[in-house]
Structure 1
Amino acid sequence: MALTLSEREARLYESLAAFEHAPLFAREEKRKRLLSQADLLAQDAAGMAHLYENIAAIHRSGLFAGTPWEDPSRLVPGLVAGTLLSGPAGSTLEMLSELRMLAVAEGRLALPGCPPEAARHFLRQVLVYGFEYAFSTEELSENERYTRTEVRKVSLLFDLLKQHLPLPSLLPYLKEEIETIIAHRPVVVTRIKRILEQLQHLPPDLLDGPLRAYVEALFAPTPLAQKAGTAHYYAEQLPHLPDAALEQEAQALSQQMLDTGLVSTFQLAFLQYAARERTALVPIALALNAHGRADYERHQAFVHQLILSFLVPGNKQGVYGLARTLQRNLFSQKTVWHAFSRLVKARLHPVIRERLEEGNLSPFALTAEQALIGGTLCVLGQPLGVRQGNNPTCQSARGISMWSRHAPGKLINLLIDTATTNNAVFRYEGELIESAGVQEGLTTAFDFKLDPVSIVLVPHLDKVYNEMMKRASLKHPGKDPHASVNPAFYGHWIQTGFKSVYNPLLYGIENYEEFIRIFYAAFHPEYNGGHHLIYPVPAGIFITDSGANMLGFHAISLLRIEQAPDGEWRAYFFNPNSQGKQDWGQRITPTVSGHGERHGESSLPAAQFAARVYAYHFNQLRLGDKPGKVPTATVAHITQLAKESWGRKYQWL
């Protein structure tokens, strides 16, 4: 028989008192009991409200002492949603932490170093970063990994937060988030669509110019689209428009796509009409320049087949991918043309088909074949738009991005083989590795909320990479396995030189000054003879939080070191972790726009970037005496940044 609210409240008070007075040896057991009672209360709105009313007492009991939630200044809003969905007891502590911050924001609780405005700022960021969960239960309820009680708890928490921090108060934060996403041009745009879906229901006077423009780009990109209301009725109006009006419509739609990277159902409807009836309008609707037009005209029948047979409302973002693919003239590359023609006819393996259907993030019907073709166009057109999602597979995402940019034919052939056989084969030091024969990768519970190419490839790439790392550790003990794995996994353009500062056997950092000097001599044009990178450089970085505390290792690609418009030397890199902007502490905050970044890039001042790198590949034949010419002051500055951040965790040998 279910407990009444008053009974659950009484149990909470009993558990709270027992925890407060527990001797040290029994404290952990009493903590678990208290958290379980909090979980019981969090199953309805009245219980959640009761927890909030008593959060000051819960805080004073010492519940957060000795946990990652002890110091509010070290909390990271971007990690909250993931922790809430991680299951007890972490999710319960996270829930109570948000209630504590809400009490601080409203002046009901005082915490050292956390004024009310800082708490409000934190909670608004929590709501923005967890927007999918805060404003839609669909993301939670459809995921089998989350129990009903966990979904209920998270939903009720966000409901309470929204009561105290309503949507209009989040608009400045949402605007910044939208601009970041748009600048970064991800392949998967579900997040920004869900944000804009919520904003379209607000009174127009609450939305400033840019926010209104983003909403209109997706839901009413032209006056005719706004008047029509639906894409179906819009399409019925097109045959009745004069030629000049049709061309004006095509230009307006394509400009919206160029400005935002978003594709509306109206644009897809127009493009399909043009492909059937007014072919001269197709390149205009796709915003193609002379190069793109040439590729379109050379392969017009095939492009029309893609538009009419494979692009549907469920994968309409493929329109942008198609436009970018034509701009890259990829269909004019024989390897790409023949590979893509095979991909269109490929018969998918049943497991792959099931995964693609499971990964459909759209409310519209979408076949596995349509998903794969549309997704492939997006990845080919947006090599820097690939993301790892909620999976620890940065190496795999980095590989897909690299191959799309520099070996698109190889990528498509790998995609065909994997999609048709549910297997991927690589060679490592003369031995074949088949993903079908590998038991496990880094990921145990795979989240398929990814682009279709990643859905097909990453489960296999993850296994192959992990197996290569295991074999490298056995074959080359005492050496960083990435030195031999990266060239085998990614391809021939990976430089043979390799440098790492991390010694895993001694758990320490060694030869750091030499490491920085070689980095500058290899990649920085002021010290390498004025040369710029031809291929991306796989690099490993230490990820740190806003307090510059070490969080873990991460794989990125260094794309270039160049002068920004203001003359500052910056490192531009591909970060596959779905977040272009973070706060890494020490005022080191990667940006995605405003400093000469291209779509999909993040950037930092060169010294700040170098201070987070722990491994990279380089061409050792080109160094000569260049490392010795790197200024000592530069090396000392970077060393100080390193030692005062992630370096605190290691011995310096």
Structure 2
Amino acid sequence: MALTLDQLEDRFLHSLQAFQEAPSFSKDDKRKRLISQIDLLSRNEEGGQLLYHRLPELDESGFFNGTVWENPNNLIPGLVRGTLLAGSPTSTIEMLNEFRILNISEGRISHPDFSAEQARGFIYSMLVNTFELAFEDFEHEGWSARYADGELKKIRMLFGIVRERVDLQQIKPHLLEKIEVIVAHRPVVVTRIKRILSVISRELTLDLSEKQDRRLSYFINTLFGPTELARKYKSPGQYETALENLDADALRQECQEVGKMMVDTGLVSEHQLVLLQFVRKYHTDMIPEVLALNAHGRADYERHQDFVHQIIQDFIVPGNKQAVYGLARVLQRNIFSQKTAWHAINRLVKIKVHPEVAKRLEQGNLTRFDLSPIQSLIGGILCVLGLPLGVRQGNNPTCQSARGISMWSRYAPAKLINMMIDAATTNNVVFRYEGDQIKSQDVTEGLTQQFDFQLDPVSIVLVPLLDKVYNEMMKRAGLKHFGKDPHASVNPAFYGHWIQTGFRSVYNPALHAVEKYDEFVRIFYASFHPDYNGGHHLIYPVPTGIFITDSSAQMLGYHAISLLRIEKVPETEAWRAYFFNPNSQGKQDWGQGIEPTVWDNGERHGESSLPVDEFVSRVYAFHFNELRLEDKHHQVPVETVAKVTRLSKESWGRKYRWI
């Protein structure tokens, strides 16, 4: 028999009192029991309202003391989504923290180091970072397959109360900035931005006399009605009928307008797919217009016209319409004209997908459309090959695998396609490590325990297998090369021949200390910075390990990225490091005023960048060419090394002993 709200409240108050009165040695145990009562209350709005109004008592009791939520100043709005989806007790404490900050914003709780204005800023930022989750109904079966019903009810309840107490119109500037960041990154998976734009269209009022609202409207139109004709005929069937009544000039103009909006935003509408299929049937000369191809892309299209038509007809459907943009970018990159890639992709379209792989692809299809495994794969490979810097790791600790897929798609497309064929047909991949074969099917586990399927199809197929292989390589390296950073031997074996064999790390695991840091910094500058390496620029990406820090410059952990280039910003002549970050976070605050940007500083789509010295201050490991170093590292100025060292010591360096 279900308990009434009054009974649940009584149990909660009893547990709260027991927690308040508990001696320090039993606080954790009493907190766990209290959380179990809170979980029961959090499954409907009435219980949530009760918890919200009881938050001052809960906060006063010291509930957050000794947890990562203790000091609101140290909390990061961008991490809320992942924490809410992490399951109880983590999700429960996160929910209560949002209620606490809401209370602070309304003046019901005072905090010495966190003002009501700061609390409102946190809530706005949190809402922007969780916007699609805040309006999610969790009806799609993918949610129930991954998360407990009680957890989904908790999240729905939380955001119901947040939306009730926050003026959503106030977050439009923050939403626009978030959208611009996502668009600048050109991600392969656009599910998130589609949901955000859908919610904005449905929930917010846009005033087209305002510049920011016009910009928001442009993004919404790109996705849901890119032309006047598309906005008039919203359903795909009606739109196709309307296209039949256009003369050749009007149809060409429609193609050009739709293609331009795709290039501007990286987004593909259902109308664009209808238009592409229409011109494939009746006006093939206009396909380059719909795809917005330049001269290089048109030449590749004309060279492989029949194959492109087959792909459009058989493999690009409403469930993977983003592949229209992928196809356009593949043609722009002239990948079909690379002989090895051409043979590989011709083989890929004919494969039979392994049942386990097909099951994973089905789990990853979060659209309302049916999508066959092979359609998913072809659409996915087009997007990844077309947008190598758009690959992301999602909520998985698999930055190394995402980095590899990005690197292979950019520099070894045939290698990636062949790996896809093996993985898709056998659910297995094989790598060599120091003379031994490592088969993913023989490895019991990787770093990922619960796989997040909100990834592109290529990653859904490959990452679970790559993750196992990489983890096994790291284990073997740890045993075989004891006392050394295992990445030194693992990265060249995992990524390929272009990884330089020279390797430096700041950390000495035997001494648990940072040593020879001056030399580390000097070698980095002498290897990659054109002012100190003889004016040379990078040819291939450099696998780089960085320390992730929060807005207080506290170390959060390690992360794998790729250094892509070091170049001057044309307008300012300032040197910046441009890098690929697979963690989906473009603009971040790493403390000490260090904030990577994704536009306005010479970034290309998918890149993040920082001034070189700020970037180096977060690097802990990199590969380099020892043969070209000579004595160049001795030319790096003392002042440069000193600045990087200061930034390092005052951030992640506080965790280590320096010798």
Fold shared, TM-score > 0.5 on shorter chain: yes
1:498 to 485, 500, 503: 503
Answering whether residue 574 of structure 2 is matched by residue 568 of structure 1, we say yes
Partners of 1:557 and 1:573 within 8 A in 2: yes
Task: Give the secondary-structure state (helix, strand or coil) at the position aligned to 2:453.
Answer: coil
Equivalence for 1:318: 323
Instruction: Report how many residues are paired.
Output: 653
Kindly report which structure 2 residues correspond to 1:28-427, keeping only aligned pairs within 5 A, or say none: 28-138=28-138, 142-143=142-143, 144-201=145-202, 202-205=204-207, 208-427=213-432
**Counterpart Cα distance in 2 of 1:326 and 1:560:** 24
Q: CA–CA distance in 1 between the matches of 2:453 and 2:46?
A: 35
Offset of 1:141 from its aligned partner?
6.3
Partner of 1:602: 608
Q: Which residue, out of 579, 587, 593, partners 2:585?
A: 579
Are the counterparts in 2 of residues 140 and 151 from structure 1 also a CA contact under 8 Å?
Answer: no
- 2:478 maps to which residue? 473
- 2:633 pairs with 621, 627, 630, which one? 627
Partner of 1:26: 26
Distance across 2 between alignment mates of 1:139 and 1:117 = 35
User: d(CA) in 2 for partners of 1:249 and 1:117?
Assistant: 47
Give the root-mean-square deviation of aligned CA atoms: 1.2
Deviation at 1:203, TM superposition (A): 3.3
Q: Distance in 1 between matches of 2:400 and 2:323?
A: 25
1:114-149 CA distances to partner (integer Å, 9 max, x unpaired)? Answer: 111111111111112112321113288633332111
Listed one character per residue, the Cα deviations across residues 33-67 of structure 1 (whole Å, up to 9, x for unaligned) are 22222222212111111111111111011111111
Q: Distance in 2 between matches of 1:376 and 1:430?
A: 30
Label 1:139 to 1:524 Cα distance change in 2 as closer, same or farther (>3 A): farther
Please say if residues 138 and 152 of structure 2, whose CA atoms lie closer than 8 Å, have aligned partners that are also in contact.
no
Inter-partner Cα distance in structure 2 for 1:544 and 1:558: 18
d(CA) in 2 for partners of 1:356, 1:85? 21
Partner residue of 1:447?
452
Asked if 1 retains the 8 angstrom alpha-carbon contact of 2:320 and 2:371, the reply is yes
Q: Distance in 1 between matches of 2:18 and 2:492?
A: 58
User: Cα deviation per residue 1:425-444 (whole Å; 9 max; x = unaligned)?
Assistant: 11111111111111111112
Show the 5 A alignment for 1:606-621.
Answer: 606-621=612-627
Cα distance in 1 for partners of 2:499, 2:140 equals 40
Determine if contact 1:133/1:140 at 8 Å carries over to the other structure: no
Write the letter of the residue equivalent to 2:159. Answer: F
SS at match of 2:567: strand
Question: C-alpha offsets along residues 458-498 of structure 1, whole Å, 9 cap, x if unaligned?
Answer: 11111111111111111111111111111111011001100
Aligned partners of 1:611 and 1:641: how far apart in 2? 6
Quote the offset at 1:205 in angstroms: 2.4
**Letter matched to residue 203 of structure 1:** T
What secondary structure does 1:345 align onto?
Answer: coil
The AA in structure 2 aligned to 1:301 is D
Q: Secondary structure at the match of 2:107?
A: coil
- Distance, in Å, in 1 between the alignment partners of 2:573 and 2:296 is 31
Residue 651 of structure 1 is matched in structure 2 by 657
1:367-407 deviations in whole A, cap 9, x for unaligned? 11111000100000000000001110000000000001110
Distance 1:551 1:204 in 2: 38
CA drift at 1:625: 1.4
1:189-241 C-alpha deviation (Å, 9 max, x unpaired): 00000011111223342771100100001111000101111122111111221
- Matches of 1:113 and 1:140 in 2, distance apart? 41
Q: Secondary structure at the match of 2:349?
A: helix
Identity %: 62
Structure 1 unaligned spans of 5+? none
Contact 1:383–1:405, Cα closer than 8 Å, also in 2: yes
Cα contact 1:314–1:362 (8 A) shared by 2:
yes
Q: Any conservation in 2 of the 1:132–1:139 contact (CA below 8 Å)?
A: no
Asked if 1:431 is matched to 2:436, the reply is yes
Deviations 1:584-610 (A, max 9, x none): 111111111110000000001100000
Using the TM superposition, give the Cα deviation of residue 11 of structure 1 relative to its aligned residue in structure 2, in angstroms: 2.0
State the Cα distance separating 1:286 from its structure 2 match: 0.6
* Separation in structure 1 between the aligned mates of residue 509 and residue 146 of structure 2, nearest angstrom: 34
Greater CA drift, 8-17 or 469-478: 8-17
* Preserved CA contact (<8 Å) 1:178 1:192: yes
Q: Please, which runs of 5 or more residues in structure 2 have no aligned partner?
A: none
Normalised to the residue count of structure 1, the TM-score between the two structures is 0.98
Tell me, yes or no, if the aligned pair for 2:140 and 2:366 is still in contact at 8 Å. Answer: no
Once residues 54 and 470 of structure 2 are traced to their aligned partners in structure 1, the CA distance between those partners, rounded to angstroms, is 49
Tell me, yes or no, if the aligned pair for 1:45 and 1:156 is still in contact at 8 Å: yes
CA distance in 2: counterparts of 1:464 and 1:215, whole angstroms: 41
Aligned partners of 1:308 and 1:152: how far apart in 2? 42
Letter of the 2:276 partner, please give it.
L
> How far off is 1:98 after superposition?
0.7
Separation (CA, whole Å) in 1 of partners of 2:40 and 2:124:
26
Contact 2:522 2:636 in 1 (8 A): yes
- The aligned amino acid for 1:283 is P
Structure 1 match to 2:642: 636
Q: Secondary structure at the match of 2:620?
A: strand
